[in-house]
Amino acid sequence: MTTPFVAGLGPTELLIILAVLVLLFGATKLPELARGSGRALRIFKAETKGLLDDDEDDVAAGQKTPEQRAIEARQVDLDLDAEVERQRRGDTTT
């Protein structure tokens, strides 16, 4: 019977990695390190979820995205350029 592999690593490799971690950080620091990593991941997930929710709320509330505002600004610039050109030619019809 074969043992399940974690990320393609066998039991021997996992034991070696664990031994290196214990040597680097010490047995007393490993639980603290794992706890800190877990907290950091939870905070990161919450922040990214919050950012995605904010974007969805902005679009749902009718607020324009930066891309939409840029397109509208370009359209206004084109309209102004066309108006200036008409005035320069002396064309007063709209």
The residue among 34, 8, 30 whose CA lies nearest residue 20 is: 30
State the DSSP string of 42-77.
HHHHHHHHHHHHHHHHHHHTTPPPHHHHHHHHHHHH
Q: What is the pLDDT of residues 50-71, one digit of tens each?
A: 887 766 665 566 677 778 888 8
Question: How far apart, in whole angstroms, are the C-alpha atoms of residue 86 and residue 4?
Answer: 76
Verify that 31 and 70 share a domain, yes or no.
Answer: no
Which residue range forms the structural domain that includes residue 58? 1-63
Mean pLDDT of the chain: 79
Query: Do 47 and 24 share a domain, yes or no?
Result: yes
Residues 13 and 3 both lie in one domain: yes
When divided into structural domains, the chain yields a total of 2
Q: In terms of domains, do 44 and 70 share one? A: no
